[in-house]
Structure 1
Amino acid sequence: MSMFRTVVRLAVVIPLMFLVACADTPDADAPGSDVLGVVFDDFGHVHGVGTNPADGAVFVAAHAGVYRLDPATNTGTRMAGRVQDTMGFTVTGPDTFLGSGHPDLREDLPPNLGLLRSTDAGRTWDTMSLSGEADLHAMDTSGDLVVAYDALSGQVMSTTDGTSWSTLAAGDVRDLAVAPDGTVWIIDAIGALATIDDQTIVATDDGPSAELGLIDVAPDGTVVVATPDGEILTRSADGTFRTTGSVPPGTQALDVADRWLIVSASAVHESVDQGKTWTDLLTSSAVRSGP
């Protein structure tokens, strides 16, 4: 066979093979079908975690999508197959989530999604406000109050209707949480505990000396924080913090709205005793297989 004919045949066959491969690959189509069996290592960086009150399932929002966890198979289901970098993830009710972030590149959407809401457990998302205007890296709710940190403007903002926003303060924020009484707790740029006073982020006098990375507030008002190294601390009624437990390092997301959940670099962990002990719901393949 001559080189010319080989080149011509390859030029025809390779595009055809490429088209067939694309047609058989779920990610080549627009989002729509759930993708089963995704391992923890393929989630990408995790931005949020929470429990769906509709069925008790744990959901993780990550760089490569929103996942419903299946601890029995040590995998997650990517909702609607959407590779959406979902940030500011918050569960607000049965099958109802809030989020922000950046779109699946197969969808014709602006690079910054503003405030999104899903009412079908993350399969579809509707824009509520700030489309193309805000990148909400951290978000929490208490009743109708939504508080979020916009990484584009460097502002902490609030809304009660999802459309009209007010600026609470300006400054760099790692994480934030809203207490039942409406107090906004913040982990600032250097990992210190802070609140907002007169539209200013102010470090508290009674915060832990350790560098903090994550914060959430339990329904009873207990403030819970985590260090990047995995130490879990809770705030007592007198304002002091004590260590209640620990998880592996590389903490990425924390939720104590229902059962306590935290995501480390190697697993999704659950506690049913207010952080004293933790069990693994989903682990990386490295942890599952061992050394």
Structure 2
Amino acid sequence: MRKSSCATATTALAAAVLVGCSWGNTDGGAAAQPADAPSSSESPDDVAEGGADSSESVKSTEPLSSQETPSTPNGTDWTGDLPNTLTFESALAHVHGAVLRDRSLLVATHDGLTSVDVVTGVTESVGDSRDDLMAFAQDPTGALFASGHAGPGSPFSEPMGLIRSDDAGRAWSEISLGGEADFHSLAADGTAIAGWATTGALLWSEDEGDSWLPGPVTTAFSVALFMEQLWLAIPDVGLAMWNRDANAIEPVGEEGVLLATADDGSAMWRVDPDGFVHRTLDGRKWQQAGSVGAAEAIAASRNSAFIVTATGVQRLQVGG
């Protein structure tokens, strides 16, 4: 078990320390902005011109094309036809997060981790833990991170702080903040981990969760790491980026309540307050993929978003 280490630096100190971080923007001034134009591999139809006001609506009624091949952390490609809707035989308890893995969805619930077959909708409990997983994330190597409340017979503190699994969720170990932090949103990319805790703190780690520094907001619906930037869905603000050099939030003029980065890091998805689902490849231009009636969690590949509720899954897709 790793020793808990929670920094108590002031916000000003946090800003000073974060200037020297190697992850993301480190050259001073405003945060690095995503590229103005899509990459040369994108067709003109891939990205709507002019931002959100001219978002291109993309229908989601056709099966998944075999051309979609973003890789999951274990190297399995998402290819072949998949259904657009799945209904669970038995409702899940309190869905709090989801990631894609092994042609399945791993879903964090009130009763531990559940695997959902994306073709059949069959659900299966993963491992022996029945902890209430309130936040859930996967990094590009396939390591899983979670937080929440200890269940019956759990070896973890209450709250659990940050825990980690390196075997697809079958076994977990405590990393830090046990008994201190109850994260309700997490994002992980390499050594960088960000999370919003119910103590009213955005926390940031550069060493896989061993130590933490505070950020400049006290509330966030959702967090995501994309294009070496930390993205936040903030009440009364909408979608924003954290300029770590200035330790300030920079709104980007879009709405969002749920965020997800594609399993290969090539795209970011957001669900807005009206249930519309959007994708970006560059952080500036967004495609609208459709709408959902309810969303408790979102997991994504480059071309597909899987919207999870307690009773089933809805898949939306875009091309490119």
TM-score, structure 1 as length reference: 0.69
Residue 298 of structure 2 corresponds to 254
Q: Which runs of 5+ in 1 are unaligned?
A: 1-38, 276-291
Q: Which runs of 5+ in 2 are unaligned?
A: 1-87
Of structures 1 and 2, the larger Rg is shown by 1
Runs of 4+ in 1 over 4 A off after TM superposition: none
Contact 2:91 2:310 in 1 (8 A): no
Secondary structure of 2:139's partner? Answer: strand
Contact 1:229 1:251 in 2 (8 A): no
1:99-178 matches, cutoff 5 A: 99-178=146-225
What is the distance in 2 between the residues matched to 1:270 and 1:143?
27
Task: Quote how far apart the aligned CAs of 1:126 are.
Answer: 0.2
Contact 1:42 1:64 in 2 (8 A): no
| 1:126-155 alpha-carbon deviations (Å, 9 max, x no partner) | 001111111111111222211111222422
Residue 51 of structure 1 corresponds to 100
Task: Quote how far apart the aligned CAs of 1:187 are.
Answer: 0.3
What is the distance in 2 between the residues matched to 1:265 and 1:227?
19
Contact 1:250 1:265 in 2 (8 A): no
Higher strand share: 1
- Code of the residue aligned with 1:158 in structure 2: it is S
Query: For the aligned residues, what is the CA RMSD?
Result: 2.8
Identity among equivalent pairs (%):
25
Q: Does 1:214 align with 2:258?
A: yes
Higher helix share: 1
- Code of the residue aligned with 1:47 in structure 2: it is H
Task: Quote how far apart the aligned CAs of 1:72 are.
Answer: 6.1
Task: Quote how far apart the aligned CAs of 1:227 are.
Answer: 2.4
Residue 238 of structure 2 corresponds to 192
What is the distance in 2 between the residues matched to 1:207 and 1:236?
15
What is the distance in 1 between the residues matched to 2:220 and 2:260?
14
1:49-88 matches, cutoff 5 A: 49-52=98-101, 55-70=102-117, 74-88=121-135
Q: Does 1:201 align with 2:249?
A: yes
Higher RCO (C-alpha 8 Å, min separation 6): 2
- Code of the residue aligned with 1:121 in structure 2: it is A
What is the distance in 2 between the residues matched to 1:159 and 1:113?
20
| 1:5-32 alpha-carbon deviations (Å, 9 max, x no partner) | xxxxxxxxxxxxxxxxxxxxxxxxxxxx
What is the distance in 1 between the residues matched to 2:231 and 2:283?
16
